[in-house]
């Protein structure tokens, strides 16, 4: 039987080759992903509400959340070193969004002026997207309990520091980085 990551890698490869698609994959630091997903689980009506942050952290590490294993998901995409795939990180987008927009333009073969790039940056900033009701899923109240939060919450890099206890970060994430390296054979991003 194939592991989840192997199945995903096969599907990704098939998708890229058959459809000659271009894929832009944005990865986020797993600690910030965990925090974001914790709030997401709290507000999506069809998902189990986490008992508490500690419980959710353990479920996240063990792949017992909505998307399954973060490790396997990211690895499945990461192992596809395909020319039709652009690998980005949320952190680099927050650090220098114009540079990332230029990188995307080059990848998709789109030539924009500097003014057009700045317009794209303006409309794709977290602030602009958070203010956009359709992006913030305000029309999907049958899916989201908006009394528990917003779809576009903070968009900060490093917000995990406001949620993890020292013990969770040192003990669990000492193990977490061991697990990350073991499962992905990769250097952890944004540690």
Closest among 85, 115, 69 to 16, alpha carbons compared: 85
pLDDT, greater one: 190 or 33:
33
Distance (Å, whole) CA 43 – CA 166: 26
Q: Distances from the Cα of 127 to the Cαs of 12, 90, 94, 121, 130, in angstroms?
A: 32, 15, 12, 11, 5
Inter-axis angle of helices 173-184 and 70-78, to 10 degrees? 40
Query: For the whole model, what pTM was predicted?
Result: 0.77
Question: Tens of pLDDT along 71-107?
Answer: 888 887 777 777 888 999 999 999 999 999 999 999 9
Domain residue limits, the chain: 4-184
Question: Tens of pLDDT along 122-143?
Answer: 999 988 988 887 776 666 667 7
Question: Tens of pLDDT along 16-46?
Answer: 555 677 889 899 988 899 999 899 888 877 8
pLDDT higher than threshold 90 for residue 146: no
What is the share, in percent, of the chain residues with pLDDT greater than 90? 29
Q: Tell me the CA end-to-end span of the chain in Å, nearest whole number.
A: 33
Architecture of domain 4-184: 3-Layer(aba) Sandwich (3.40)
pLDDT higher than threshold 90 for residue 115: yes
How many CB atoms are located within 10 Å of the residue 49 CB? 12
Residue for token digits 């914790």? 38
């Amino acid at each position: 039987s194939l592991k989840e990551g192997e199945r995903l890698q096969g599907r990704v490869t098939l998708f890229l080759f058959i459809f000659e698609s271009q894929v832009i994959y944005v990865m986020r630091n797993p600690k910030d992903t965990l925090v974001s997903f914790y709030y997401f689980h709290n507000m999506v009506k069809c998902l189990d509400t986490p008992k508490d942050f500690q419980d959710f952290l353990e479920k996240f590490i063990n792949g017992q959340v909505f998307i399954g294993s973060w490790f396997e998901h990211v690895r499945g995409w990461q192992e596809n070193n395909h020319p039709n795939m652009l690998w980005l990180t949320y952190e680099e987008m927050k650090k220098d969004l114009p540079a990332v927009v230029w990188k995307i333009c080059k990848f998709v073969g789109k030539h924009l002026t500097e003014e057009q790039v700045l317009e794209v940056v303006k409309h794709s900033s977290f602030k602009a997207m958070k203010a956009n009701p359709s992006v913030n899923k305000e029309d999907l109240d049958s899916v989201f309990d908006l009394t528990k939060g917003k779809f576009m919450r903070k968009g900060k890099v490093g917000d995990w520091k406001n949620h993890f206890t020292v013990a969770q970060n040192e003990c669990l994430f000492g193990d977490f980085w061991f697990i990350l390296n073991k499962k992905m054979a990769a250097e952890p991003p944004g540690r």
